[in-house]
Amino acid sequence: MNNVLVVAVHPDDETLGCGGTLLKYKDNNDKINWLICTDIHKDNPNYKKRQNEIKKIQELYDFDSVHKLEFETTKVDEHTMSEIINRISDIINKVKPNIIYIPFKNDVHSDHRKIFEATYSCTKSFRYPFIKKIYMMETLSETEFACSQGENFIPNVFNDISTYFSKKLEIMKIYQSELSEHPFPRSLETIEAIAKFRGSTSNCKYAESFVLIKEIS
């Protein structure tokens, strides 16, 4: 049995990046765990709505555990790297995943880059020997805007999610405030387009793609 942790910088990153893959793990009786690193401020009028969305998402995936760091969105870089690392390390040591999904290291959003750096620091095999596979995931509206010159997302792992793609879209629709009409990157049309594109690269209808950073067999 696998014990999977997805590190979502913002709520919806887990669905954009590996929603179908998480559903596939769950269908295989593996454990799936969700770390949400940021949230909107509690004074924000949409705060309660966002918490309700998160609760619905949790139920639809049937996560085995959910953890929140509650850094304020867009302000992760106001915290010291040691604080971010320590808080992520606490969760990783609690969950003890053997597979972990993290943001792409060159995502354009500063929150993503900071969380990548901190999380990757928490994967050293001599400190976290239970981690056996580390993947970077592709997050629409962030990953595709990485600077060129050798810094782009070039996947080397593809996961057939054809059976789970419709439910991935169903889950994504709950994040109403994060969606907009095409050509906005987080549109249902764009989500389907990239899943088809990754599927055409791997001979299936729909796929999610990842960069495997490390595998210990």
The per-residue pLDDT for 148 is: 63
Amino acid 27: pLDDT = 98
Residue 105: which CATH number?
Answer: 3.40.50.10320
Residue 97, pLDDT score:
98
Domain extent for 122: 3-215
Name the pTM for this structure.
Answer: 0.95
Which pLDDT belongs to residue 73? 87
For residue 29, what pLDDT is reported?
98
The confidence score (pLDDT) of residue 216 equals: 97
Q: Are 184 and 67 in contact (CB under 8 A)?
A: no
- Cα 60–Cα 65–Cα 66 angle in degrees, nearest 5: 80
Backbone angles phi, psi at 36, to 5 degrees: -100, 115
Q: Which of 23, 31, 26, 22 is nearest to 2 (CA)?
A: 31
Q: Per the structure block, which two tokens stand in for 149?
A: 């010159």
String of DSSP letters for 108-150 = SSHHHHHHHHHHHGGG-TTT-TT--EEEEE--TTTGGGS-SSS
Query: Which residue stretches of the chain have pLDDT < 50?
Result: none
| Structural domains counted in the chain | 1
